[in-house]
Chains A and B, each alone.
Chain A
Amino acid sequence: MLQLNQIHKIFNEGSPDEKIAIDDINLSLKAGDFVTVIGSNGAGKSTLMNIISGGLFPDVGEVFISGKNVTNMTEYKRSKMIGRVFQDPMAGTAPSMTIEENLAMAYSRNKTRTLKRGVTHKRRDYFREVLETLHLGLENRLSAKVGLLSGGERQALSLLMATFTEPAILLLDEHTAALDPSRAELITNITKEIVERYKLTTLMVTHNMQQAIDLGNRLIMMDKGQIILEVDEEQKQHLTIEGLLEEFKRIRGNQMVSDRAILS
């Protein structure tokens, strides 16, 4: 479904601030794979996400989605195939527009936008139906502006909008990190449910090790632009936080630097 071949990305090349963000990464996701990505700050997780989504282009290497080479495809074209949820709950929705209008825009993702009405009666019924699956009562607030929703509600809506057109790839970029623990848990559960329902091929970045262990069938750990650990389906079932930290220490010869990752 998703294939990354020998991706290289350097920031500020030739200047004193030169930084190798992604160093020769190869990654392949089969249809239905749910891969969680962990790593300390600056490990290159977000850069990797941006290279897949088209926000950044790799210096070397190729990106394939559903067997199609999308390496040089612009972000908006590529996003026909990619659903994304951002860390900031404000980022995934248009606050001054209503819930149904937001859903209508997401609904047009893989179609050509026309001069037909965005929110029709038929669509409204459908939106109500999919909103019910969130169990947040949003189905009764279709014409409320999204700016009035709480962070958790907005993130749940973003998640639904990113997924209900069944994209080839779902990218989750620390999408629960900005929420309080109970909301984060709610979004985590909804994520699990949605990914299973649509059988989405998913790549999820997280700082929360427990979440990385609980969700998905595979796990990768990144550090300094490289994938330093890949845990497959079978190994992942016996994985613990202590085990992961131990593994990191063994590979890198020092403690994992992110306090945030350990504490969470």
Chain B
Amino acid sequence: MERMISLFTAIFGSFEAGIIYAIMALGVYLSFRILDFPDLTVDGSFVTGGAIASVMIMGGVNPYVATVAALFAGFLAGCMTGLLHTFGKINNLLSGILMMIALYSINLRIMGRPNISMLNTETAFTKVEDLFEKTGIDTFLNNLLTALGLGDSLPETWGILIMMIIVTFVIKIITDWFLQTEIGLAIRATGDNKRMIRSFSANTNLLTILGLGLSNAFVAFSGALIAQQGGFADVGMGIGMIVIGLASVIIGEALFGTKTIVRTTLAVIGGSIIYRIVVTMALRIEFLDPGDMKLITAIIVIIALTMPKILERSREKKRKAHRKAERPVSFNVAADEEGTKHAAIKSDS
């Protein structure tokens, strides 16, 4: 029973992680949905973000500057993938895989060792935590929770959650705005109908590179923040990140809809949080341990991808059965007769 931590703390933790990973999911949304480019660079660029941030922070650089530097590093990584695909004419999946592998070594070089601990070091989050503690917002919110009867295990800080809600939504709004600009429209068309937008004087190569750059900038930014939240960067922290991003995008789209860009980006953020909650809940099951997380992720994605089709099919079946039932009686008789005939044949054989 020691694994049974308070449900509230677990969900709180899922929200906190989910909202940080949401930035990565928005990046995956840009490449996977907007550009129609399944970009596996994500597994590498996520770590690049964490690596750059941790190395710079340990080197005494201001954590905010380090986080922004990570963003630019991710942008460069994405542009490289774009160059491989457009000018190198390498298949899109393969260009992403090549870049992912290349980044593994590059990340090791950046970090100098497989992992860097940032415990007891000032990060972007410790600064905010201090601020929240000093101003008494934490105490206020925790008192509120105690009053609601949720006082058994209170979150240590509200700072990270509130700051990240603001940061993620600023990024969402920038993304929404960007995708409505003339350049943004052209990037969307590049993913939708390359031939068409090229016939309207758009350089689709450049737009693909730019789109992948932005996508991976988001991913690396998210990686830098996750490293700071967890207090360490690890060269393997990006494994399966693309699948987590996809899971968030697919779950979000299925649950919250895709009517407009504004709605879809919101759905992706929601999907990221829900994914975290599902994983947290799954890990509370006695016989599962953290090592099973990737398997759980894969299963979630498989369910999210297949369920809509299965539901659709069963709905269709029901609809047809309904139609059949409504048909005139004579038809039903004919059908029944046929049915018995078949049955007879079957019993003969």
Contacts and interface: CB of A to CB of B under 8 A. Distances in A.
A116 B184 CA distance: 10
Interface stretch (A1-9, A10-18, A87-95, A223-231): A87-95
B182 A93 contact: no
B202 A119 contact: no
Contacts of A117: 180-182
B167 interface: no
Contacts of B201: 76-77, 79-80, 108-110
Contact of A91 (B183, B196, B200, B202): B196
Interface in B193-237: 193, 195-204
B192 A97 contact: yes
B186 A76 contact: no
B185 interface: yes
Contact of A114 (B183, B202, B204): B183
Contacts of A131: none
Contacts of B186: 105, 108, 113
Interface of A: 53, 75-77, 79-80, 82, 84, 86, 90-97, 101, 104-106, 108-110, 113-119, 161-162
B172 interface: no
A101 B196 CA distance: 13
A108 B187 CA distance: 13
- Chain B, interface size: which category? 20 to 34
Contacts of B195: 86, 91
B185 A91 contact: no
B202 A95 contact: no
Nearest to A171: B199
Contact of A75 (B178, B184, B185, B198): B198
10 contacts: A76-B202, A80-B201, A94-B189, A94-B196, A101-B188, A104-B185, A105-B189, A115-B183, A118-B180, A118-B181
Lowest 4 A-B CB distances belong to which pairs? A94-B192, A113-B182, A118-B185, A94-B189
Contacts of B180: 117-119
Given A76-B203, A76-B204, A105-B189, A94 B197 contact: yes
Contact of A97 (B183, B185, B198, B202): B185
A97 B182 contact: no
Contacts of B184: 118
A101 B182 contact: no
Given A76-B203, A94-B192, A114 B198 contact: no
B33 to A, nearest CB: 9
Contacts of B182: 104-105, 108, 113-118
Interface string B163-188: 00000000000000010111111101
Given A115-B182, A115-B183, A94 B193 contact: yes
A101 B199 contact: no
A51 to B, nearest CB: 15
A94 B204 CA distance: 14
Nearest to A77: B201
Contacts of A116: 181-182
A101 to B, nearest CB: 6
Nearest to A158: B196
